[in-house]
């Protein structure tokens, strides 16, 4: 499809969807971002929608600066997936017991563990660096000092909202019927606590006076505030990565208990709320991806739909106009509050037919009808990624 330029900005804001179809609030946010003096450029993904400060589905390249709102509060949120040796024919007719076993093994929603996960007791989990990682907690923002125990006990937990664990079946192609495991989660409460504290610090800095949106406050390179934020940011991104690794290892073991002959391939993992140092056109920039994945040439990534529509494994095309990025999912087309007003539990039952999942009023805000058409989103970014596999969930666990 290619992109269109959003009018009325200083820096180029390239949009991989119809600019006139973007909700007015999100379009204004994009114009606000495009006016910031530190911005080199913005790439807007087809799943774009309104967020806090910066839109979800935006990739922002800044020179010597970074805005915490352009990362998001769930630092390091992202996806993991692994291809199994199973086919759909290997799965039991009744998938209820498998869903129950997953929910019994991995706490969901607000639940946390009674005691932290011992990595040495988790089969096939990478054992490297755990002591070093946890020692890093003592270097974080003083405001989170009392949250270390909670951070330990939330490691290997899913959370709520749009976070999920799925068993999926590949659709079409030479591997039609192949079973995949997939999950979506982030840095849990500790990432949010760190993000909000640093956003509060940024708002008070004098160079952020007069911004079009105070939530777009930035840290500048070479300052102690930037150094403190990046230290905490890297730690929270690592927390999110390890959190997904623990859950994926536990999920693989649950499936192994039900289907002992299963074997697993190499996991795919990608953040979609994070910061990276990258270079484009000879210019070194800090790239924030908020609701977007890296899609460099050959990079494998994961783009999920909603709980009833399926997901995609993709390979990046390395499109530098988009800062080597792609969407992180389908993207919401209505708020959670509007979804609850619009749909009922009966609608959820109908829209998740054939999927073993919760079908009660507590997750109506995650109904497929509240999301954009994932098929259309994929068509709009054909120059950003190529499809490796199209997956359809048969089990979906939500908080």
In terms of Cα–Cα distance, which of 229, 274, 203, 328 is closest to 60? 274
In terms of Cα–Cα distance, which of 68, 335, 77 is closest to 215? 68
In terms of Cα–Cα distance, which of 47, 127, 114, 76 is closest to 303? 47
What residues contact residue 43 under an 8 Å CB cut-off, 6+ apart?
3, 14, 16, 58, 59, 292, 321, 322, 323, 325
What residues contact residue 20 under an 8 Å CB cut-off, 6+ apart?
none
Secondary structure tally for the chain: helices H, strands E: 9, 18
Beta-strand (E) ranges in 217-340? 219-220, 268-271, 273-280, 283-290, 292-294, 300-304, 311-316, 325-327
For strands 300-304 and 356-357, give the pairing: unpaired
Strands laid side by side in the 4-5 sheet: 4-5, 13-15, 39-49, 56-62, 283-290, 273-280
Length of the chain: 399
For strands 311-316 and 283-290, give the pairing: unpaired
Distance separating alpha carbons of residues 378 and 383, to the nearest angstrom: 10
The single residue of 49, 184, 198, 328 carrying the catalytic annotation is 328
Tokens of 269: 């993992």
**How far from each other are the two terminal CA atoms of the chain, in whole angstroms?**
36
CA 189 to mean position of chain CA atoms: 15
User: Phi and psi at residue 228, in whole multiples of 5°?
Assistant: -65, -40
Assess whether 328 carries a catalytic annotation.
Answer: yes
Active-site residues: which are they?
328
């Amino acid at each position: 499809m290619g992109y269109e330029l959003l009018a009325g900005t200083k820096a180029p804001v390239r949009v991989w969807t119809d600019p006139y179809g973007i909700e007015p609030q999100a379009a204004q946010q994009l114009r606000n971002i495009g006016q910031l003096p530190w911005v080199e450029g913005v790439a807007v993904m087809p799943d774009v929608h309104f967020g806090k400060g910066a839109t979800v589905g935006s990739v922002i390249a800044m020179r010597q600066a970074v805005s915490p709102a352009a990362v998001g509060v769930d630092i390091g949120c992202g996806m993991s997936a692994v291809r199994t040796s199973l086919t759909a024919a290997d799965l039991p007719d009744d998938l209820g017991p498998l869903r129950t076993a997953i929910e019994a093994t991995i706490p969901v929603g607000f639940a946390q563990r009674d005691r932290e996960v011992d990595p040495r007791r988790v089969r096939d989990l990478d054992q490297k660096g755990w002591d070093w990682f946890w020692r890093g907690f003592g270097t974080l923002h003083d405001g989170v000092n009392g949250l270390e125990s909670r951070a330990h006990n939330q490691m290997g937990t899913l959370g709520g909202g749009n976070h999920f664990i799925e068993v999926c079946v590949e659709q079409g192609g030479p591997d039609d019927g192949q079973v995949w495991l997939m999950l979506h989660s982030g840095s849990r409460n500790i990432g949010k606590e760190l993000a909000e504290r640093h956003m509060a610090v940024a708002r008070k800095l004098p160079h952020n006076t007069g911004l079009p949106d105070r939530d777009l406050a930035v840290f500048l390179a070479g300052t102690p505030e930037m150094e403190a934020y990046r230290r905490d940011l890297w730690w929270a991104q690592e927390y999110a990565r390890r959190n997904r690794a623990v859950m994926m290892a536990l999920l693989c073991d649950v499936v192994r208990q039900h289907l002992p002959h299963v074997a697993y391939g190499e996991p795919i993992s990608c953040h979609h709320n994070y910061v990276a140092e990258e270079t484009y056109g000879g210019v070194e920039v800090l790239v924030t991806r908020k609701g977007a994945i890296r899609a460099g040439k050959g990079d494998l990534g994961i783009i999920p739909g909603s709980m009833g529509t399926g997901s995609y494994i993709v390979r990046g095309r390395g499109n530098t106009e988009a800062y080597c990025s792609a969407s992180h999912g389908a993207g919401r087309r209505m708020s959670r509050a509007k979804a609850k007003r619009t749909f009922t539990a009966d609608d959820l039952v109908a829209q998740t037919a054939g999927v073993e999942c919760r079908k009660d009023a507590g997750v109506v805000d995650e109904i497929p009808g509240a999301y954009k058409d994932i098929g259309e989103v994929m068509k709009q970014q054909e120059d950003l990624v190529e499809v490796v596999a199209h997956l359809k969930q048969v089990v979906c666990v939500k908080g």
